[in-house]
Amino acid sequence: MALDMGMHDEAADADPLSASDQGNLARLERVGAGTAITGEIFGLVGKSQFFTEFSREDISALAGYMEVYRAQPGELIIREADAGDFMVLIVEGEIDILKKSHRGEQQHMTSAGPGMTLGEMSMIDGEPRFATCMASQPTTFAVLTRDNMAKIILDHPSLGSKILVKMVTMLSLRLRQTSARLLRYMEEPR
């Protein structure tokens, strides 16, 4: 299910942690509400592209829609091909992004650290998870579900737009980087 603007009112009371790939989260240590780590999120502001142009008020409001989890090295956060309905903001630690090759081997694509986001593609477009995300260090991260993103857009439209603009910015950056890598392969003599 993709993010379907303005049709989420009746889902507003649904348990945000009952659906689809949130089963992976259910196996991890739940630290608490995002508001419990508003301080840590403020601490990320300087390091994170995600939060440039966010005011203190924006971050406090956003934290109110997030839940915080902790994963130990080797623990799975997102599994490739699962249905996906949340994104992750890394607060501390490191997460490996892995994808199965045609031969079934896990290929390491890249790693992500504090201030980076993961999983926003499936969170917005409702397509299956493209890659697996696994903690490579003790990692603390905040989770934003699709239902809560829809609530932010309805309840705080200006904050919602800021978050969406950031997602476009971060996806653009990744698409430029990935396209540049692809072009280098395409140019190499075979």
Using the rule CB under 8 A, is 5 a contact of a second copy?
yes
Per rule CB under 8 A, is residue 9 in the interface with a second copy?
A: no
Cα separation, 58 vs 160, in Å, equals 10
**Amino acid identity of 99?**
K
- How far apart are alpha carbons 116 and 56 in whole angstroms? 19
Helix extents (H) in 129-156: 146-155
Report 84-103 residues binding a second copy (CB under 8 A).
99, 101-103
* By the rule CB under 8 A, 56 interacts with a second copy: no
Considering the rule CB under 8 A, would residue 124 count as an interface residue with a second copy? yes
Joined together, the tokens standing for residue 25 give: 């989260």
CB-nearer residue toward a second copy: 33 or 121: 121
Question: Is residue 120 a contact residue for a second copy (CB under 8 A)?
Answer: yes
Tokens of 86: 């949340």
Q: How far is the CB of 127 from a second copy (least distance, A)?
A: 7
The token pair at 56 is: 């203190």
The DSSP element (H or E) to which 70 belongs, if any, is: strand 67-71
Contact criterion met (CB below 8 Å) for 77 and 12: no
Q: Is 72 in the site for a second copy (CB under 8 A)?
A: no
Neighbours of 36 (CB within 10 A): 14
Q: Which of 16, 84, 93, 160 binds a second copy (CB under 8 A)?
A: 160
4 lines the binding site for a second copy (CB under 8 A): yes
Looking at the chain, how many residues does it have? 190
149 three-state secondary structure: helix
Q: Which is nearer to a second copy, 18 or 158 (CB)?
A: 158
- Our finding on whether 12 is near a second copy (CB under 8 A) is no
Q: How is residue 133 written in tokens?
A: 């995300």
Mark residues 34-53: x for contact with a second copy by CB under 8 A, - for none. Answer: -------------------x
Phi, psi of 86 (to 5 degrees): -145, 160
Question: With binding defined as CB under 8 A, does residue 174 bind a second copy?
Answer: yes
Q: Which residues bind a second copy (CB under 8 A)?
A: 2-6, 53, 99, 101-103, 107, 109, 120-122, 124-125, 127, 130, 153, 157-158, 160-162, 164-165, 167-169, 171-176, 178-179, 181-188, 190
